[in-house]
Chain A
Amino acid sequence: MASQDDRDDDVAVIGQHGVAVDLAASFEALVVDNAAICYRKAYFYCRNHHRAEETAQEAFANLWKAWADEEKRTKIQQRKGYVLNAVRNAFLDYRKNPSRTSEHEQGLVGEGNEGYRVADASTAVIEAQDIRSVRDAVLRLEDDNERNLIYLVYYEDYKVRRAGKELGLSPQRAYRVHERAKERLREMLRHLEEEGG
């Protein structure tokens, strides 16, 4: 029979100040707090409810793998930016692995409605020539801070200052990033306006 100490080791680690941390309990709190935003961010990429759920689940699985590391756990808990980037990484992983994409989904890629071609996994999730909507343009923003700030401000209804805080930006920097992102979007959307889109 396992000892009490053995069983305690299953769920708790000793934190920075010598306090036992219940890893599963703290992770539960993270999931409860971030489930909806993770799903919505995944849907923002996928535009498919089923795939958005799978992507968001994968993001949480990856966060859980990192949860035992106190430094990573603290960062994840402190800023939504890490959670949002976990969703993006899960989406990119999903798209890079054809075995995980059904034939139906593969057929949708290229039709322009349900899927995106991966331009460069390290920078963007959509090719410039595939931009057909405002959402496409947001996805095309290559800077993580610009993309996440625009997402939080417009699609999650955060104030610029609060969104910046979630991303680890000072208020001044957040406003600069916001303006710069809008300028990039304006440029990307110019051709759509000319086409009446």
Chain B
Amino acid sequence: MDVDKRLLRDADSFAEEVAGFNRGEFIAKVFKTLGIVPERPVSGDASAAGRIQRPAGPRQSLRAGETAGTPRPDVQEEGEATEA
């Protein structure tokens, strides 16, 4: 069989295998793991191009380069962990 047809046939199987993926739930898990607090909930059926829109401003989050386990004494000690 032609390699194109084999690839397309496998791609159909692949699409069925990943059809049960819950995008919204997964995104929520990623944000939780990284300590990022989105201002708007992410819809599970939003398009891939959908973006969370929100005004820029100070809020609680990890700095890029940090993980959820990284201490944040500058915030936690001063009780400034809540959003502005």
Query: Which residues in A have some Cβ–Cβ distance to B below 8 Å?
Result: 1-2, 4, 6-8, 10-12, 20, 22-25, 27-29, 31-33, 35-37, 39-40, 43-44, 47, 49, 53, 56-57, 60-61, 64-68, 73, 133-135, 138, 150, 154-155, 157, 182, 185-186, 189, 193
Contact = CB atoms under 8 A, between A and B. Distances in A.
Interface of B is mostly: loop
A24 B11 CA distance: 34
A189 B11 contact: no
Contacts, number: 140
Interface of B: 1, 3-4, 6-11, 14-15, 17-18, 20-21, 23, 26-27, 29-31, 33-34, 36, 38, 42, 46, 48-52, 54, 56-67, 74-75, 78-80, 84
A35 B23 contact: yes
Given A31-B31, A35-B27, A150 B7 contact: yes
A25 B56 contact: yes
Contacts of B62: 24, 64
Query: Which of A11, A28, A33, A53 has its CB near the most chain B CB atoms (within 10 A)?
Result: A28
Contacts of B79: 1
B4 to A, nearest CB: 7
Contact of A33 (B14, B51, B75): B51
A144 to B, nearest CB: 18
B52 A28 contact: yes
B22 to A, nearest CB: 9
